[in-house]
Amino acid sequence: MFYRSLWVPGRGTERRCIGTTDRAEAERLGKELLAALLRDEQVESGVLTLGDLWKRYKTQCVAFLDNHPKSQLDDTGRAEVLRGFFGDDCDVRSLTESDQLAYIRKRLVGGIVCGEERETTAVRLRSVEADLKLLHTMLKWATTARVRKGHRLLDSNPLEGVRRPREMNPKRPVATLKRFQKTREAIQSLIAEADTDAERRKWLRLELALVLAEATGRRLGSIRQLAWSDVDMTRETIRWAAENDKKGREWLVPVPRSLIEHVQGFRVKLGGAFGGLVFPSESDPSLSIRADVFSKWLLAAEEKAELPKLNGSLWHAYRRGWATARKDLPISDVAFAGGWSDATTLLRCYQQPDHATLLRVMSEPRRVVEGVVGG
């Protein structure tokens, strides 16, 4: 391998591998470096480390910057794991399918040290898939990012054509109407048994959140950050604010009168006549109740109802149930009402086969009696 040496004022000699064993190519890169220095341009070494790629991606990639802060935070965590395994100094141009397979094996069993005190635990294949999706996305972006005239950050994607792993049997449980009813009955029992006003408000808020989840199909993240002003009692609509949406999009959705009346009843019980958040924290009314707190409450209610824990889901199971119950309706309307920007995700991950619909399919009396056009 050939290296280039460069004197940097204040730092001394900077020596980097230029990624070639060919003398003619090394001389060409050396002359290009010299020309760039004479023109006082930014100098690229030819080596692109994973640490540098991530730094550039998170500060320059428009698609990343347009993401919701929560999605950016998720990507940041995944990048930390990737850097923990491959190393910040890893030259991404040298990545191969074997490297990806090694990452998959290690990520599944855990033990990757990333950050100062974090070590990964065993995960399912879906987590590995999400990590590698980020890596492939960064590499693809680097082939389009211009660093100087006629040059890109990465000449080619080293993992182009390398397939990412896919979870063949992902866990996507659906919450049924019976589960909703039994859980709600348990919550109402907890309300009746509450010894203090604070305890009573806690279970009332959980019941309202559960009602909204079952009736609207929305994510817990959007529900728990609702304000009373988002619910228009006159026009019978709910506004789902962009700042609380996973994709940063605002939605204004009409809802049934029965749901509006339900919400009005809870507003009276919870004292929300003066506005503010629907689900304020007891310690700080300007903040919403945290998602993990809602999950803890729901688990307690399900235990009270003697319901088994759904494998791999809690609140999201109600979102799948809502979507699955609406398979007979126009997909564009279901996607808008439930807050899916991409109908493909709704079809692939949320609308699940159910017994009644499968039976209707198998009981279809029609038969093909004429030749199929184009068949």
Confidence of residue 244 (pLDDT cuts 50, 70, 90): confident
Residues 202-211 have a mean pLDDT of 96
Predicted pLDDT at 43: 47
**Amino acid found at 60:** Q
Predicted pLDDT at 375: 55
Sole residue written with tokens 């993240």: 221
Q: Give the tokens for residue 338.
A: 């439930």
Instruction: Return the number of other C-beta atoms located less than 10 Å from residue 252's C-beta.
Output: 12
Residue 99 clears pLDDT 50, i.e. is over it: yes
For residues 111 and 69, the model is more confident at 111
Q: What is the pLDDT of residues 305-337, one digit of tens each?
A: 999 999 878 999 999 999 999 999 999 999 999
145-159, 225-239, 260-274 — most confident range: 225-239
Q: How many CA within 13 A on the CB side of residue 33?
A: 17
Contact 54, 83 (CB under 8 A): yes
3-state secondary structure of 181: helix
Residue 42 clears pLDDT 80, i.e. is over it: no
Give the list of residues 6+ apart from residue 162 with CB closer than 8 angstroms, or none. 97, 100
**Amino acid found at 54:** W
Instruction: Return the number of other C-beta atoms located less than 10 Å from residue 158's C-beta.
Output: 19
Q: How many residues does the chain have?
A: 375
Residue 199 clears pLDDT 90, i.e. is over it: yes
Contact 81, 114 (CB under 8 A): yes
CA distance 288 to 269: 18
Residues 41-50 have a mean pLDDT of 66
Counting residues of the chain whose pLDDT is more than 90, the rounded percentage is: 59
pTM of the model: 0.67
Q: Give the tokens for residue 123.
A: 């995960």
For residues 171 and 132, the model is more confident at 132
Confidence of residue 81 (pLDDT cuts 50, 70, 90): very high
Predicted pLDDT at 190: 96
Residues 66-95 have a mean pLDDT of 90
Query: Across the chain, what does the average pLDDT equal?
Result: 88
Confidence of residue 96 (pLDDT cuts 50, 70, 90): very high
Residue 366 clears pLDDT 70, i.e. is over it: yes
Nearest to 220 by CA among 230, 206, 231, 233: 206
Predicted pLDDT at 217: 95
Nearest to 320 by CA among 257, 312, 367, 283: 312
Task: List the CATH code of the domain at 177-320.
Answer: 1.10.443.10
Residue 27: exposure state from Cβ atoms within 10 A (0-12, 13-18, ≥19) = exposed
Residue 142 clears pLDDT 70, i.e. is over it: yes
